[in-house]
Amino acid sequence: MASYIKEPGVRLFLLKNVYWIEKKQLALRVNLPVVTKEIAQVGKALATTAVFNKETLFVRGENSGYISSLDEISIQKHFPKSQIKTILGAGHWLHAENPQQFHQIVVDFL
């Protein structure tokens, strides 16, 4: 895996999805056939009239571009009772990069 993924932290994170089926046989916890089949649905826009009117939490990493300023407008439109919290110094895997702050944000929300 190291020849494909250089960052040790990312490799360790991905390895959490690997387990032993039996001696000398590994498997993934991720349902890869479904992910492969439905990947076009990932990131698909919500219907313009879709609204969820309950409390909702979005957590983003400061160094991740997955929730931009433009996304915030869309989030507020579709999730009017939402909060967006940012974990400083974290990227996309914010729960692995700063688990304590991630945990505290989620616990405070719940």
Contact 101, 59 (CB under 8 A): no
Instruction: For residue 16, give the nearest of 101, 95, 105, 107 by alpha carbon.
Output: 95
CA separation for the pair 68, 34 (Å, rounded): 28
CA separation for the pair 16, 2 (Å, rounded): 15
pTM comes to 0.71
Q: What is the pLDDT of residue 50?
A: 96
Q: Is residue 87 classed exposed, middle or buried when 0-12, 13-18 and 19+ CB atoms within 10 A define those classes?
A: buried
Q: What is the pLDDT of residue 44?
A: 87
Residuewise pLDDT in 10s, the chain (110 residues): 899 988 887 788 888 899 999 999 999 898 889 999 999 998 788 899 999 999 999 999 999 988 988 899 999 999 999 999 999 999 888 888 899 999 999 999 99
